[in-house]
Chains A and B, each alone.
Chain A
Amino acid sequence: GIQVEQSPPDLILQEGANSTLRCNFSDSVNNLQWFHQNPWGQLINLFYIPSGTKQNGRLSATTVATERYSLLYISSSQTTDSGVYFCAVPPTDSWGKLQFGAGTQVVVTP
């Protein structure tokens, strides 16, 4: 099945810093989603981005489908950005299912 790898596994940021999270996937996809899991466990949709670039406030994401990777940018980080960031893609033989990466744990310190 499709493999999804995220890096780095852990990231510690000082408030105000910028960072880039990466998601590599092993096969072509027509759907890629980024999620943020807050410290209470709630998974929040950030982006649906099978290709191209999208921005939402201080967050932006870029997916280069032909090269099988996606990047999530966090600018001017805040403590509320802490949590785990997941990317997820559907396996090629799937219908509506998502294969999640292992996530990047982000801690933003004041």
Chain B
Amino acid sequence: SQTIHQWPATLVQPVGSPLSLECTVEGTSNPNLYWYRQAAGRGLQLLFYSVGIGQISSEVPQNLSASRPQDRQFILSSKKLLLSDSGFYLCAWSVGGVKETQYFGPGTRLLVL
């Protein structure tokens, strides 16, 4: 069966520090991968999605970037965190196209101080 992992689970970082969040999927090949952010417990916002290694599409201009160095690995990064980057970051995967279900990881809670 497929599983999705995210780490770290929680993170407290000072403003201006770098960020690296990791997401890995097991049990499937060539998944579509997604990064979402959730602020204040509601409203998930899609940040990035990837249909293959090295293929990243950005949905929202921002202080963040994403990379997919391996088929089942998706990384969310920032060179300098802002206060507004605080939130709950969720990684998701799916296979196939628009008719396929997305499955979410446990998330990373980021607090920027």
Contacts and interface: CB of A to CB of B under 8 A. Distances in A.
Interface of A: 30-31, 33, 35, 40-43, 45, 48, 50, 84, 86, 88, 90, 94-98, 100, 102-103, 105
A100 B98 contact: no
Which of B46, B96, B103, B106: most chain A CB closer than 10 A?
A: B46
B4 to A, nearest CB: 11
Given A41-B106, A95-B97, A96-B102, 10 more contacts: A30-B98, A31-B98, A33-B101, A41-B88, A41-B109, A42-B106, A42-B107, A43-B107, A96-B32, A103-B42
A102 B88 contact: no
Interface range for B: 20 to 34
Contacts of A42: 104, 106-107
Interface of B: 32, 34, 41-44, 46, 49, 51, 59, 88, 90, 92, 94, 96-104, 106-107, 109
Contacts of A30: 98-99
B42 A90 contact: no
Secondary structure type dominating chain B contacts: strand
B91 to A, nearest CB: 11
